[in-house]
């Protein structure tokens, strides 16, 4: 079974926003996170894992919450880049371990 067009479209759109440094707007406005991806590729890997693991689909494969999944990924980026920022709900150690 292949991914639905809805899921592949959500991933494609998310990738576009990542590449254009517009993901999570306005949460990440003014934060140059793209340089962080170059310095720590595992950050980008984790961001995609968070996005994918937060996506929910219905029985027809239609994405139900792409914006929420994007926001969770953006929260993780901000938490990485802004040391005094904590995401709500917080990412816990076991949640991060379950990303892979």
Q: Output the CA–CA distances (angstroms, integers) from residue 48 to 23, 25, 29, 73, in the order listed.
A: 12, 17, 19, 7
Residue 19 and residue 88: Cα distance in Å, rounded?
A: 25
d(CA 73, CA 89): 12
Residue 93's pLDDT band (cuts 50, 70, 90): low
Residues 9-51 have pLDDT tens digits of 999 999 999 999 999 999 999 999 999 999 999 999 999 999 9
């Amino acid at each position: 079974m292949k991914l639905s067009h809805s899921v592949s479209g959500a991933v494609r759109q998310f990738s576009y926003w990542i590449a254009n440094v517009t993901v999570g707007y306005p949460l990440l406005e003014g934060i140059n996170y793209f340089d962080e991806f170059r310095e720590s590729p595992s950050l980008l890997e984790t961001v995609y894992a968070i996005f994918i693991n937060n996506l929910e689909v219905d029985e027809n494969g239609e994405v139900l919450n792409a914006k929420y999944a994007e926001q969770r990924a953006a929260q993780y980026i901000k938490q990485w880049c802004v040391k005094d920022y904590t995401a709500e709900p917080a990412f816990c150690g076991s949640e991060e371990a379950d990303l892979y």
